[in-house]
Amino acid sequence: MNIIEPDLNGRQLRIGIVQARFTNEIGSEMLKVCTETLLGLGVADDDITVATVPGALEVPIALMNLASSEQFDALIAIGVVIRGETYHFELVANESGAGVTRVGLDYNIPIANAILTTENDEQAVARIQEKAADAAKVAVECANLVNRLLADQFEDEEEHED
């Protein structure tokens, strides 16, 4: 049995982050925690690119453009959608989540989705630290996994050619 162990070494990885500015105080704090965690995992400051967008619905288009550049090993989506009194919450939460997932699958790039969906500000604030740190770890681990799987696939193809 071949087991690929989790690899949280961020050296040599390039990470793109898209932060939704709506509810910016929470998003900005998430960005701070996320980047600090990436740096702690060995990702170089120069290898982290941050783009901001107005809100959660705009995150997927920015992710798509980062992914299509082929300059990143993984991406991270940061933001918060807080329930209001209308159906808008469900629309924004569902569509932004689906868009983030679609970009990852369409471009074969890991995307850590750290767009919080909460009932109120207090719930969002309580989740900043854990969700933002987790997003950084997920991005590094999944970037290493995909890079490893792609390298193994390339090696298998070379062996079959010989």
Phi-psi region of 12 (alpha: psi -120 to 50; beta: other; left: phi over 0): left
Mean pLDDT in residue range 52-71: 97
Catalytic residue among 11, 32, 88, 148: 88
pLDDT digit string (tens) for 28-47? 999 999 999 999 999 999 99
Q: For residue 9, tell me if it sits in a domain.
A: no
CB of 58 within 8 A of CB of 23?
Answer: no
Q: How many domains does the chain have?
A: 1
At 86, the pLDDT band (50, 70, 90 cuts) reads confident
At 56, the pLDDT band (50, 70, 90 cuts) reads very high
Q: For residue 7, tell me if it sits in a domain.
A: no
Residue 154 pLDDT: 62
Q: How far is CA 117 from CA 17, 53, 76, 124, 133, in A?
A: 18, 17, 16, 8, 17
Range of the domain at 69: 15-161
Q: Please state, for a pLDDT cut of 70, what percent of the chain lies above it.
A: 94
Residue 31 pLDDT: 97
Question: What CATH number is associated with residue 45?
Answer: 3.40.50.960
- Alpha-carbon distance of 99 to 67, in angstroms, equals 13
Residue 157 pLDDT: 60
- Report yes or no on whether pTM surpasses 0.75: yes
Question: For helices 88-107 and 59-68, what crossing angle results, to 10°?
Answer: 10
Tokens of 90: 């469900």
Q: For residue 151, tell me if it sits in a domain.
A: yes
Is residue 162's pLDDT more than 60? no
CB of 103 within 8 A of CB of 63?
Answer: yes
Mean per-residue pLDDT over the chain, rounded: 93
88 in catalytic set:
yes
At 7, the pLDDT band (50, 70, 90 cuts) reads very high
Q: For residue 22, tell me if it sits in a domain.
A: yes
Residue 160 pLDDT: 58
